Homo-oligomer: A and B are copies of this chain.
Amino acid sequence: MKIIEEAISKYGKILDGEIIKVDSFVNHQVNPSITNELARYFVDQFKDTRIDKVLTLETSGIPIAYAVASILDVNMVFAKKSKSKIVDEDVYSEEVRSFTRGTVSTVTVSKKYILPNENILIVDDFLAKGNAAIGLIKIIKQGGANCVGVCATIEKSFQGGRELLNAMGIKVVSGANIVAFDGNTPIFG
């Protein structure tokens, strides 16, 4: 989407030629006008699919996930991240490695909020190596539900996440797909 590519080019900061900082419209300050336009685009890409729920991972995925859920008029669930490996019996959990932070988190969702046979759309701010998305897909499967796709505001497809997800039969849609960096300039695909 032109609007996301333009926002990245205008406001994004590239760190070390691979990490992209988009504090001004995604990760700290959020622009509802851009976010709602992106949400409409995501919903349109799944117009032939029944979606029962939107799942994201706290924190920065919440605004775009909420905007998508709001258009679809379905509930949105945000998975929780914790550093502790000790989890309650009443949650599904997976360990997820963060590419940008270099940390491992335990991601949990209450068993009450993933129901058998639900069609669940994952919506998040970033897709890089696909670790977070794959953790969420495993949680969806633990609950006997189906992941119908993964939407990300910004994708860095050269880091392999899309390929992994497609190999699992999962449709991937992103607002902007960065296929490479030329120094500190993103190249969109």
Q: Which residues of A contact B (CB under 8 A)?
A: 23-24, 28-33, 35-36, 58-59, 62-63, 66-67, 69-70, 73-78, 80, 109-110, 112-113
Among the listed B30, B75, B113, which residue makes an inter-chain contact with A78, where contact means beta carbons less than 8 Å apart?
B30
Among the listed B29, B69, B73, B78, which residue makes an inter-chain contact with A28, where contact means beta carbons less than 8 Å apart?
B78
CB of A85 to closest CB in B, whole Å? 18
How far is A133 from B57 in the complex, measured between Cα atoms in Å? 25
CB of A107 to closest CB in B, whole Å? 13
22 chain-A/chain-B pairs, Cβ below 8 angstroms: A24-B113, A28-B77, A28-B113, A29-B75, A29-B110, A29-B112, A29-B113, A30-B75, A30-B77, A30-B78, A31-B75, A32-B73, A32-B75, A35-B66, A35-B70, A58-B58, A59-B78, A62-B66, A63-B63, A66-B66, A66-B67, A67-B70
Among the listed B24, B73, B75, B80, which residue makes an inter-chain contact with A112, where contact means beta carbons less than 8 Å apart?
B24
Q: Which residue, A23, A30, A36, has most C-beta atoms of chain B within 10 A?
A: A30
Contacts of A113 in B (CB 8 A): 23-24, 28-29
Contacts of A70 in B (CB 8 A): 32, 35-36, 67
